[in-house]
Structures are given as structure tokens and as C-alpha cells.
Amino acid sequence: MTQRQKMPSPPPRNDDEPEATGEILLGVRNLSKRFGGLQAIDRCSLEVRRGTITGLIGPNGAGKTTLFGAITGFHRPDSGRVVFKGENITALAPHEIFSKKLCRTFQIPREHKGLTVLENLMLVPPGQIGERFWNAWLRPGEVRRQERENRDKAREVLEFVSLSHLEQEYAANLSGGQKKLLELARTLMADPDLVLLDEPGAGVNRTLMKRLTENIQYLCRERGITFLLIEHDMDMVMSLCNPVIVMSEGRKLMEGPPDAVRSDPRVLEAYLGGQYAAAERQ
């Protein structure tokens, strides 16, 4: 992992949340995103502090995945700002944001199906000199060295997520849970500072879920990687995340430690309201 940079002081807080400690790694300020007539994100503001595993929960359609898309350049926000490590990254392209070490996974894994597990990881690091075809002739030694380093790193990451035995398997043949581990592995190839995980537990069996949870905890504690994760599995959220941010109708409803969130009547109402609304639409 790379050396952590010293960051400037966080900007003053402008909401009524209880005082939280730790440097702000990601700041979302008054972000909005509309799809036609639908306000998917509505002046949303929230913060993620370095060194945390922050949970992002909320009823279906609350805007969580759209928010991930707007943070990581996949959706261009209509207004508002995204600040990462003190830098305004709003509306940068996804690959530019990725290269700043802000990485994401997708709700439905986006593996390269026709490539092996190992190849999927080796594709990740940007700026490989072998990508320019003349370098294979002009700088063959350097190309080979970089490829070797890349392969070693990919193998190290695969060992960490317990997928080594599948390195030559086509990614298309992995189980749903293994694909989630591969998604996490791909972010690790970039030495990320912040990883956004979109429903890492969905479709994952209990054994793999336990491994995934332990991996996230280890990476946060030992490697200093910060996580923001969307999850519907409340057991996973309650055991893994602190703080938990609740989104409803495109903006932050509340934030707090898991116990406080679980017992907050506003959260219950948001979930029940969402269910009633869904039932009424049917």
C-alpha cells in the first residue's frame, strides 16, 4: 500500500449531526441528480471519515446506487459537489476518479467473462507500458518486468480473497459469491484509499459472507482502506459498519452508530413508508 498523505483540515460542519471525529475523506455537498421527471438524488450531503467502514442503507429507490454513480463519475450530477481528499472531483470521468484511488464495485458484478480470474485482475492497473504496442519491440524487458510485477500482485490479492485455486478459471464460471470477491479483488489492485461497495452481501452464501466481512475489516484496520457500503443485509451492516447513514427520498435522513439507527423511529417510518408505497403501486 502507498504512504498515506497528510490531508488539509476538514471544512467546518454545516449540519446538525453529533460531533464525529476523524478526517473527512469524502464529502458530498448538496448533490442532485434527476432522471427525467424523477429526482433520484435531492440535495444530498454526507461525509465519510477516513478509517471507517461506513454503512449506507435505505429503502429501495432511496437513491443509494445513483449516489455511488454520481460520486464515481458514472452519472453526471445536475448540481452539487463531490470532494475527495480535499479535491473537487465532481464530474470527472470514472477512470480519472479511479486513478485517484476512489474505487467502486457494482451491485451486479461486471467481470470480464471471457477472461480468466487472473487476467481480470491483471487488466486493472492503468498505464501499463505493454498497452502501447510498439513498446513490446522497443522496451521488451521493461514490458516483461511490469507484467511480472502485475502478475505477482494479482496472485497476492487472489490469495487474500481466497480465490487462488480459481486463477485460471473463466470469470463467467464463478459463483455469485466468488464474483463479489473478484470485484473486491479488482479494487485492491488499484491500492485504493476509499472503496464503495454496492451490496457486497447480495447473493453470497454465509461462508463467503463471513470471509468477505473479515476481509473488509482486515483491509480497514491493517491497510487503512476506508469503505462506504450499501447493504440490505442488516446483520452485516450492524456488525460491520459504524457509522450508518440512512438515505430516504434522495437525501440523508440520519446518521449514527448502528444501535441508534436501528431504534430510530424515522428510519422505521422511511422503510415502512417505502413498503407501503411499493404495495400501493402494485
Ligand X SMILES: Nc1ncnc2c1ncn2[C@@H]1O[C@H](COP(=O)(O)OP(=O)(O)OP(=O)(O)O)[C@@H](O)[C@H]1O
**Which CB sits closer to ligand X, 167 or 233?**
233
Q: What are phi and psi of 51, to 5 degrees?
A: 85, 5
SS3 per-residue string spanning 14-67: CCCCCCCCCCEEEEEEEEEEEECCEEEEEEEEEEEECCCEEEEECCCCCCHHHH
Peptide bond before residue 243 is cis, with ω within 30 degrees of 0: yes
Q: Which residues contact 129 (CB under 8 A, 6 or more apart)?
A: 135, 139, 142, 143, 146
- Contact between 251 and ligand X per CB under 6 A: no
CB of 62 vs ligand X, minimal distance in Å: 4
Per the listing, cell 477472461 goes with 115
**Which CB sits closer to ligand X, 54 or 66?**
66
Site string for ligand X, 56-75 (x = CB under 6 A): --x-xxxxxxx---------
CB of 271 vs ligand X, minimal distance in Å: 11
* ∠ CA 9-13-17, rounded to 5°: 130
Q: 16-35: which residues touch ligand X (CB under 6 A)?
A: 35
**Which CB sits closer to ligand X, 65 or 178?**
65
CA distance 92 to 77: 11
CB of 103 vs ligand X, minimal distance in Å: 18
**Which CB sits closer to ligand X, 67 or 157?**
67
**Which CB sits closer to ligand X, 63 or 121?**
63
The amino acid at 267: V
Binding segment for ligand X among 10-18, 53-61, 112-120, 253-261 (CB under 6 A)?
A: 53-61
CA distance 163 to 175: 11
- Contact between 40 and ligand X per CB under 6 A: yes
- Contact between 274 and ligand X per CB under 6 A: no
Q: 119-138: which residues touch ligand X (CB under 6 A)?
A: none
Name the site residues for ligand X (rule: CB under 6 A).
35, 38, 40, 58, 60-66
